[in-house]
Amino acid sequence: MKQRLPLMVFLVLLALGPLFLPEFYVTLLNYIGLYSIVALGLVLLTGVGGLTSFGQAAFVGLGAYATGYLTTAHGLSPWIALLVGLGVTAGVALVLGFLTLRLSGHYLPLGTIAWGISLYFLFGNLEFLGGHTGLTGIPVLEFFGLKLNTGREFYYLIWVVLLSFVLATQNLLDSREGRAIRALKGGGLMAESMGVNTARTKTTIFLIAALFACVSGWLYAHLQRFVNPTPFGLHIGIEYLFMAVVGGAAHVWGALVGAGLITILKQWLQDILPKIFGQSGNFEVIFFGIMLILVLQRAREGIWPWLVRLVPVRQGRRTVAEAEALPRREMPAAGTVLLEVKEARKQFGGLVANDNMNLSVKAGEVMALIGPNGAGKSTMFNCISGVDPVTSGEIRFLGERIDTLTSREIARRGMGRTFQHVRLLPTMSVLENVAIGAHLRGSKGVLSASLHLERAEEARLLAEAKRQLERVGLGAHLFDEAGSLPLGQQRVLEIARALSADPCLLLLDEPAAGLRYLEKQALAELLRRLRGEGMGILLVEHDMDFVMGLADRVVVMEFGEKISEGLPEEVQKDPVVLEAYLGGVE
């Protein structure tokens, strides 16, 4: 309960605020609330999802103009106008998202600048929207017969909306879909390999952010009762982004802190600066710019993380509830051919990384792929798992051709993998990282996550993640930040993550690297047990003792091609292999 205390105090203050605050502070809080709603969308989109948008102000405009136009020109109820506005915004966001979200890297922010400007000028040049001059006479909102005439009445509407959005966003982030969203920034490739449809996830958060902005615009129009294009221009779009970043773009409360701080700061500068410099200058914007630079130089992650540090350490969730185990996949009988690679060739421009590769893995065996550095083993892994498809040749998994499928679809068919260079989300807990692996074993969507209607499924997913972590020996680290583990254990974490997807074929890329002797023993023991359960394992590893003690069969690669295949003891004696490893004895 203690950790909730600051929140409770805040809520009580908010609720009582209008009763004792002077009128103007209620007005300010109203604007802060409106801005926070937009900034909250940006937290989700930019701070968490890593997609930068300068164009949110345009979505605010869509919401405001929808109600402005429909209520004044057609006399519709604002509530119907809200629905229409949300519909229009969703439509526009989907089209823009379809076009611009596929823009990679820095193309996206520019794309958002482009349509931000376009929509702004469109608002200004459409006569039925009042042109540049604007629409007047937007009606007062009525709420069950209660007219929201004054700022104090409006205040409660704005803040109830905002707080429920905050709650929904928080719920969403703490869910299966939320983990997928959090994986977008810096973990997209990994997430795809775990079965997350990242394109869809991106579109989802883009849509949510746009709808938040639209609601803010609807509220704005009825608070202001006047709409014209200037509040929806690019400069304002930039300001929304400022708010999110200054507040702390990766935290939901950062949106409120940022919006509050910037709004109050501007107001305060406007009062204080003329007293210092006299009336003649316009110093606000200069000060504002310089202050922002200083904030970013001193607190790059924004104000919120810094504020949190001032409050005594908060306890995160420390237990994982027991829950019914998730249903498991039917394992193929031992000896069934799981994976078959035929004549695979991978070419990067003129460089041939793999050629003429053939190999197969059966259920219940450990197949090791070895070879000197640069032999093309990891490339082969990426071809098999669909991360980077083959140029030509055929790959079959459980009898089905998969060389044209995406990594996501392959994961769904029961192939799990780890990466040579560890790919995990360092600031997320060990448990949550592993739970991403179980993504495909849940089905509840964004809406039920926001309302926390998927707690039963979530509990089962987390329990599964915990089970797998205990199995690989990381049971003591469930709530540590993944990035704080030593590298060797991070690799083991990746195994747990792959296992929680309940695969029948496991691709392990150098799992023993960085482990100590006893840890290697334990890992070998685990792999044997998995083999015993009927799982097929394809292993790339440099530690020969480890490989030879474990593998049933071995394939040796050099220069992208297979040079030898057979039982471990046969391969060890093969002169071609010795030549490759030890260099020719002239």
Site for another protein in 88-107 (CB under 8 A): 99-100, 102-107
Q: Which stretch binds another protein (CB under 8 A): 10-18, 322-330, 453-461, 513-521?
A: 10-18
The residues in 158-177 that bind another protein, with binding defined as CB under 8 A, are none
Q: Which residues pair with 370 in a beta bridge?
A: 556
CB of 84 to another protein, least distance (A): 22
Q: Which stretch binds another protein (CB under 8 A): 248-256, 435-443, 452-460, 515-523?
A: 248-256
Binding mask 38-77 for another protein (x = CB under 8 A): --------x-----x-------------------------
Distance, in Å, from the CA atom of 200 to the CA atom of 548, rounded to the nearest integer, reads 43
The residues in 185-244 that bind another protein, with binding defined as CB under 8 A, are 186, 188-189, 220, 224-226, 228, 230-231, 236, 238, 241-242
Retrieve residue 399's tokens. 């009898």
The residues in 426-455 that bind another protein, with binding defined as CB under 8 A, are none
Residue 23 touching another protein (CB under 8 A): yes
Of 297 and 315, which CB lies nearer to another protein in the complex structure?
A: 297
- Cα–Cα nearest to 177, from 166, 186, 169: 169
Distance, in Å, from the CA atom of 499 to the CA atom of 510, rounded to the nearest integer, reads 16
Distance, in Å, from the CA atom of 441 to the CA atom of 460, rounded to the nearest integer, reads 10
Q: Which stretch binds another protein (CB under 8 A): 37-45, 108-116, 359-367, 405-413?
A: 108-116
CB of 144 to another protein, least distance (A): 23
Q: Which of 9, 73, 333, 447 binds another protein (CB under 8 A)?
A: 9
Residue 129 touching another protein (CB under 8 A): no
The residues in 132-161 that bind another protein, with binding defined as CB under 8 A, are 132-134, 136, 151
Retrieve residue 244's tokens. 């999110």
Of 281 and 399, which CB lies nearer to another protein in the complex structure?
A: 281
Residue 563 touching another protein (CB under 8 A): no
In eight-state DSSP terms, residue 480 is S
Cβ density class 117-135: b for 16+ within 10 Å, e for less: bebbeebbeeeebbeeebb
The residues in 474-503 that bind another protein, with binding defined as CB under 8 A, are none
Residue showing tokens 């006399």: 75
The residues in 266-325 that bind another protein, with binding defined as CB under 8 A, are 267-268, 270-271, 274, 279-286, 288-290, 292-293, 296-297, 300, 307, 310
Of 441 and 497, which CB lies nearer to another protein in the complex structure?
A: 497
The residues in 326-355 that bind another protein, with binding defined as CB under 8 A, are none
Of 138 and 524, which CB lies nearer to another protein in the complex structure?
A: 138
Distance, in Å, from the CA atom of 453 to the CA atom of 421, rounded to the nearest integer, reads 36
Report the length, in residues, of the chain. Answer: 586
Contact 434, 500 (CB under 8 A): yes
Distance, in Å, from the CA atom of 437 to the CA atom of 526, rounded to the nearest integer, reads 18
- Cα–Cα nearest to 4, from 321, 315, 309: 315
Residue 202, helix vs strand vs coil:
helix
Distance, in Å, from the CA atom of 342 to the CA atom of 538, rounded to the nearest integer, reads 16
> Could you tell me which residues come within 8 angstroms of residue 102 by beta carbon, excluding any fewer than 6 positions away?
199
Q: Which stretch binds another protein (CB under 8 A): 181-189, 399-407, 491-499, 512-520?
A: 181-189
Of 309 and 318, which CB lies nearer to another protein in the complex structure?
A: 309
Sign of CA dihedral 288, 294, 295, 296: positive
